[in-house]
A and B are shown apart, each in its own frame.
Chain A
Amino acid sequence: MKNCEYQQIDPLALGTPASTPTSTQCAKNKSHRPRRKWEVFPGRNRFYCDGRIIVARQCGVLPLTLGLIVVTSVLFFIFDCPFLVTHLTICIPVVAGVLFLFVVITLLQTSFTDPGILPRALPEEVTNTERQIDNSGSVTYRPPPRTKEIIINGEVVKLKYCFTCKMFRPPRTSHCSLCDNCVERFDHHCPWVGNCVGKRNYRFFYTFIVSLSFLTSFILGCVITHLTLRSQGDKGFLQALQESPASVVELVVCFFSIWSTLGLSGFHTYLVASNLTTNEDIKGSWSTKRGEESGNPYSYNGIFRNCCAVLCGPMPPSLIDRRGFLPPDVIPRTVASGSELHPFMAKNDTNMCTQAPKKLLETVAHSSLVHSTCTSATPKTALVTQEFPFNSVSSMLSPSNTTQVPLPAARDNRRSTPWTRPAVREGITQKGMLDAYKYQVS
């Protein structure tokens, strides 16, 4: 009986959070562990610690960066600090230690943080975009135009269409060819940190290069002081060098690093004060040649305000939800080609979001029956999982999809997010839902 097919699935199996489904239809899912979204991420990234750490596929020279910093600092602590502590002050290793920790922590944060990757457009969104562009109503497929012009704070800004991610890139977003991702507020792809620098990790990057320039300058100064103190008296400078060969290594590394670190810090300080990205500066997007006004529509027209906005602004969330779960038998519908039409009309549409209103509507329908015929009507919350409210498991509602009972998709609930709350909250009775339902078949 078609009407009853989907109801034969035991709702208890679905309602119990994180429980193993007991119905026969779900038995085959027992052997499949729920996969996380990072495992099917389309970009060129690598993930560690079950999706907690994200790096570019090509880590660049990150090991070299880390190695140089650690080796130089360790040599300084071992060979220079004892002499300086006895001859000067204990503050030297303390300051160096703090700077070293700052440098390493911010370097690792820059490298392992999602820079602001934009998830690729889903097929429905792509279809909608193409439909909007195709104003002529022609049925023939043609590629969307490359740019769309918008006005931001009085300035005309062109939004480019990204053929990889199948969307018009938001302002200040750029596609990194190395990582194969669109990154918000894209600054540059830094091989030294092995990751893109974008909206979410720019402050880590800035803190890294500033503290690194301080550390480099500090070590250089301390090593020179150490050698100078050693060479006082009858000893010559060369003898001092021979007595402390590690200092020579530090001297060389710091001398050659300081130009680039100081230069980079100065350049990025200018960018922060102007609220510009490296990408925009290099391309000359907001050239100052046009007059006194820089023409930058994102600037707050004040150095302090720009600095605060860039460095102390709110920390935006990661949009790729790499630790969220995928339903075991649902493959994420990322864009593969531009010719997919009306995927939401397909019978095998397993997009979890499509099940949500069916769940809601089914809840209303059953409540009316249960309420009238069963005195011990167990709330249909039993049918509702504790996952994302409108991504609940309700494939059973689709007559064409009665055999699969995927586990619900869930965002990472590390901090007890509302996405793990029951879809039907306390206080909203089934009768209330029915009363609210006024939808008529047109």
Chain B
Amino acid sequence: MFVQTHCHSPPLQSASLANKVFIQRDYSEGTVCKFHTKLPSELDSRIEKTLFEDTVKTLNNYYAEAEKIGGHAYLEGCLACITAYLIFLCMETRYEKVLKKISRYIQEQNEKIYAPRGLLITDPIERGMRVIEISIYEDRSSSGSSTSSSTTSSSGR
């Protein structure tokens, strides 16, 4: 599809990355994957504290679920040991399943909550599970948008 912008296009198209905020890991309970829930000062004016805290707490719960040492983990571990850990080559582990859930959740949060506020959460797995990277975008007024052009669209298929 080939689309041209209108001269009074919204400032979305000239959004630029302004800053990145990194939510660090919380090691108070050991090496389990957990992030600080405190809203950074850079995001104070961007997003409500409760929304942010909910997001991080949900992520923490997901990671706790993935790393939970319980019956299911023991069963998986014992079965793996008996098979000389060959099942890891053909079976999706519980951790991987939860990582998929986390990825879907982050995608959903970005679409519903963060993108409308000019923010973007990067999945922690992309940063070595060290930080939650939140990109802050600013709209800048486009100086070139004064050129007027009609809006046309045509299907390229």
Contacts and interface: CB of A to CB of B under 8 A. Distances in A.
B96 A312 contact: no
A436 B138 contact: no
B43 interface: no
B50 interface: no
Nearest to A435: B116
B61 interface: no
A185 B20 contact: no
Interface string B118-144: 111010011111110101011101101
B81 A207 contact: yes
A74 interface: no
B31 A298 contact: yes
A178 interface: no
A373 B149 contact: no
Nearest to A151: B28
B57 interface: no
Contacts of A313: 67, 69, 73, 77
Nearest to A399: B14
B31 A356 contact: no
Given A150-B28, A312-B73, A312-B74, A369 B6 contact: yes
Contact of A150 (B27, B138, B144): B27
Contacts of A21: none
Nearest to B104: A418
Interface string A417-436: 11100010100100001001
Contacts of A159: 27
A185 B118 CA distance: 37
Interface string A5-28: 001101110000000000000000
A172 to B, nearest CB: 6
B156 A12 contact: yes
Contacts of B152: 373
Contacts of B92: 415
B87 to A, nearest CB: 10
Contacts of B27: 150, 152, 157, 159, 170-171
Interface string B1-38: 11111100111111111011110010111110000000
Contact of B118 (A152, A153, A357): A357
Nearest to B20: A124
Interface string B36-69: 0000000000000000000000000000001111
Interface residues of B, number: 85
B28 A361 contact: no
Nearest to A6: B13
A10 B130 CA distance: 37
Nearest to A428: B111
Contacts of B14: 399
B76 A312 contact: yes
Given A7-B3, A152-B28, A314-B69, A362 B120 contact: no
Interface stretch (A53-61, A98-106, A137-145, A260-268): A98-106
B84 A207 contact: yes
Given A4-B4, A105-B86, A314-B93, A122 B127 contact: yes
A188 interface: no
Interface string A303-324: 0010011011111110110000
A204 B125 CA distance: 23
A171 B31 contact: yes
B5 A369 contact: yes
Contacts of B88: 315
Interface string B67-98: 11100011011101100111010001111100
A365 B93 CA distance: 40
A373 B153 contact: yes
A249 B12 CA distance: 76
Contacts of B85: 105-106, 109, 203-204, 207
Interface string A153-181: 10001010000000100111000000000
A358 interface: yes
A128 B130 CA distance: 13
A360 B115 contact: yes
Contacts of A311: 77, 81
Contacts of A124: 20, 22, 133
Given A314-B69, A354-B135, A382 B12 contact: no
Given A119-B128, A436-B116, 18 more contacts: A1-B147, A118-B130, A122-B127, A167-B130, A170-B130, A207-B84, A308-B77, A314-B66, A314-B93, A314-B95, A316-B95, A353-B126, A353-B135, A358-B15, A368-B10, A389-B107, A418-B103, A423-B107
29 contacts: A1-B147, A3-B5, A7-B2, A7-B3, A7-B4, A121-B130, A124-B20, A124-B133, A150-B28, A298-B31, A311-B81, A312-B76, A312-B77, A314-B66, A319-B129, A344-B20, A356-B110, A357-B115, A358-B13, A362-B12, A365-B5, A369-B153, A374-B153, A374-B154, A377-B153, A418-B100, A436-B112, A437-B12, A439-B117
List the 4 closest pairs (A to B, CB-CB), nearest first: A312-B77, A2-B144, A361-B12, A374-B153
